[in-house]
């Protein structure tokens, strides 16, 4: 999801601290909860209002919703302790964990009974790309560089099929998942990749016209988006935060996450992304 810094529904700058979060246990009166910036920020904030109400009741805390300008800003906000709870994409979580080792992944979204999802590769229905091989020599639309399903996974998918970015095709980073779908639909790029879940939702909402797009590829299962929190929160608060998500049953709230529920998860579930980065010769410490 690509998003702008929105706090409590209003656009604002989120100033990052110049020093890492303090190590001692914390029990703040207000919790800042960050949503992954992979769609339009105002849409995300609006959809998350039931979540805000749920968390305020379950945690007995004031909740401030945050949507950052991009994945990098979200990672840095978590690193410097400017947010307490965050819904990361799989790769952006791995990047955040590499810079802030104390953060904890504690819940993962379940969709169709599984804690996984897919990246879908799409092309303009009447455009020049009819199959994967047709991408050669053309532009291909990716999202944020720290996105799993709109960059890392489809990039590896193409490389395994003999298409290396920057060499066999031109990689064009467009930011949000919805921007990719619109760009392909409108012919700004002949093909691109994004989260299959988001793609199906965009068609359902009529944000894009499914008749003008076609699927040309689908990735293997990817570990789903993790819910994370700062490791330096006091134990009882961390337990309440876990329960607030793992026991969540409200269909309206779950729909905003595009999941049917949440299940426990830990850091090891995301080693597959670290391994994929190695295949692509990507230095995660240098990715934004």
Q: Which domains, and CATH codes, for the chain? A: 6-111+224-286 (3.40.190.10), 119-220 (3.40.190.10)
Neighbouring CB atoms inside 10 A of 53's CB total 13
Give the span between the Cα atoms of 166 and 181, in whole angstroms: 21
Q: Max alpha carbon distance in the chain (Å)?
A: 58
State which H helix or E strand residue 59 sits in.
Answer: helix 49-59
Q: What is the pLDDT of residues 32-70, one digit of tens each?
A: 999 988 778 888 899 899 999 999 999 999 999 999 988
Name the DSSP letter for residue 115: S
pLDDT at 43: 87
pLDDT at 107: 97
Q: How many CA atoms lie within 13 A of 201 on its CB side?
A: 16
pLDDT at 40: 81
Q: Which residues of the chain have pLDDT under 70?
A: 1-24, 285-288
pLDDT at 167: 95
Q: How many CA atoms lie within 13 A of 118 on its CB side?
A: 12
Q: Which of 67, 59, 60, 66 has its CA nearest to residue 3?
A: 67
- CB-based contact 107:229 (threshold 8 Å): no
Q: How many CA atoms lie within 13 A of 255 on its CB side?
A: 9
Left if phi > 0, otherwise alpha if psi is -120 to 50, otherwise beta: which for 127? beta
Give the span between the Cα atoms of 160 and 66, in whole angstroms: 37
* Dihedrals phi, psi of 73, to nearest 5 degrees: -65, -35
């Amino acid at each position: 999801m690509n998003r702008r810094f929105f706090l409590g529904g209003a656009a604002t700058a989120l100033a990052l601290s110049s020093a890492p979060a303090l190590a001692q246990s914390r029990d703040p009166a207000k919790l800042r909860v960050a949503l992954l910036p992979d769609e339009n920020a105002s849409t995300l904030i609006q959809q998350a209002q039931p979540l805000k109400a749920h968390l305020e009741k379950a945690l007995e805390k004031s909740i401030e919703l945050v949507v950052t300008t991009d994945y990098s800003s979200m990672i840095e906000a978590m690193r410097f302790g400017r947010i307490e709870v965050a819904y990361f994409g799989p790769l952006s979580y791995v990047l955040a964990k590499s810079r802030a080792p104390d953060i904890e992944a504690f819940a993962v979204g379940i969709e169709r009974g599984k804690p996984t999802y897919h990246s879908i590769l799409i092309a303009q229905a009447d455009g020049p790309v009819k199959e994967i091989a047709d991408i050669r020599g053309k532009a291909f639309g990716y999202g944020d560089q720290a996105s799993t399903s709109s960059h890392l996974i489809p990039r590896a998918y193409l490389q395994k099929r003999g298409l290396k970015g920057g060499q066999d095709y031109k990689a064009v980073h467009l930011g949000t998942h919805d921007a990719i779908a619109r760009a392909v639909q409108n012919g700004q790029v002949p093909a691109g990749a994004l989260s299959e879940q988001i793609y199906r939702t965009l068609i359902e909402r009529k944000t894009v016209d499914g008749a003008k797009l076609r699927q040309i590829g689908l990735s293997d299962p990817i570990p789903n988006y993790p819910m994370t929190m700062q490791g330096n929160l006091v134990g009882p608060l961390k337990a309440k935060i876990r329960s607030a998500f793992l026991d969540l049953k409200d269909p309206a709230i779950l729909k905003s996450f595009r999941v049917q529920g949440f299940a426990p998860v830990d850091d090891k579930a995301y080693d597959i992304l670290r391994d994929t980065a190695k295949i692509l010769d990507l230095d995660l410490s240098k990715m934004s």
